Amino acid sequence: MRRDSLGTVSRLVSLPTGVRRRALVRGAAVALGAAVALAGCAPASDGETLTVLAAASLREPFTALEATFEEAHPGVDVTLSFGGSSDLADQIEAGAPADVVATADEPTMARLSDAGLVATPTVFATNVLTIVVPSGNPGDVQSLADLGRSDVDIVLCAPEVPCGRAAAAVADGAGVTPHTVSEEPSVTDVLAKVALGEADAGLVYVTDAATEPDDVETVPTPEAADVVNRYPVAVLAEPQAPDLADEWTALATGAEGRSALSEAGFGAP
């Protein structure tokens, strides 16, 4: 059963349709300890818990895989913690208890691999960015070039986050300097700000854009096709539940995992 840290619950009622649900990941992004503590309040019947840290953009497919895994492993409790990949790496480097980590790009995973904190990673999915605007497109953003206009407010992922690095690469490749008013720790935060109308546009993964059809519109972004994020998954070097960790990784990289990822809009590795 997924138990994320929920952050400030009172704010949720003001969020647009769909974003209300996904905004729950904001607090979870930097609060793995709280998530594990919550899991401890209601342990699985046989005491087995699998803790998976995953990039915020993986929320939809990993939630589906959670149900599949728990059905195949009665009594096992899967605890998912979603957030910006760099935040997840920070948690692992700080010694947070976990079994599996999946990041939104290879450089972040390499940081963990080079430090000897994870076993050999496996790339299991790909993703690309797209421009999103609030419903109705009040800023009249029609192309990537429009992100450089001084009369439009742009929100992006922070540069240390995979979606931020990808956004910078897309913009640089097109010779565009976005009029950025805010940098966020995860792609879900960027999406939420655009959906709330707090920015005229943002760059998010196509998979995230698809989850908010009532609150955001997408703008064709062909330049993004040249910047592909490759998602790796790895078991931690010292997992709490090594056998379960191996089985989760096999599920995520196998046929069922590919099906869940494809349904969410991810590309093949």
Secondary structure of residue 169 in the 3-state scheme = helix
Q: For residue 1, what pLDDT is reported? A: 46
For residue range 105-128, what is the model confidence (pLDDT) as tens digits? 999 999 999 999 999 999 999 999
Sheet holding 229-235, edge to edge: 77-83, 49-55, 100-102, 229-235, 122-127
Q: What is the CATH number of domain 9-126+231-263?
A: 3.40.190.10
Task: Retrieve residue 248's tokens.
Answer: 């989760």
pLDDT digits (tens, 9 = 90+) for 143-198: 999 999 999 999 999 999 999 999 999 999 999 999 999 999 999 999 999 999 99
Looking at the chain, the domain(s) classified CATH 3.40.190.10 span 9-126+231-263, 129-226
Contact 128, 187 (CB under 8 A): no
Q: Distances from the Cα of 217 to the Cαs of 61, 117, 161, 203, 263, in angstroms?
A: 22, 39, 23, 12, 20
Helix count and strand count (H, E) for the chain: 11, 10
pLDDT of residue 262: 97
* Predicted TM-score (pTM) of this structure: 0.81
| Superfamily grouping for domain 129-226 | Periplasmic binding protein-like II (3.40.190.10)
Which amino acid, residue 136?
G
CA distance 78 to 139: 42
pLDDT digits (tens, 9 = 90+) for 212-242: 999 999 999 999 999 999 999 999 999 999 9
Amino acid residing at 115? A
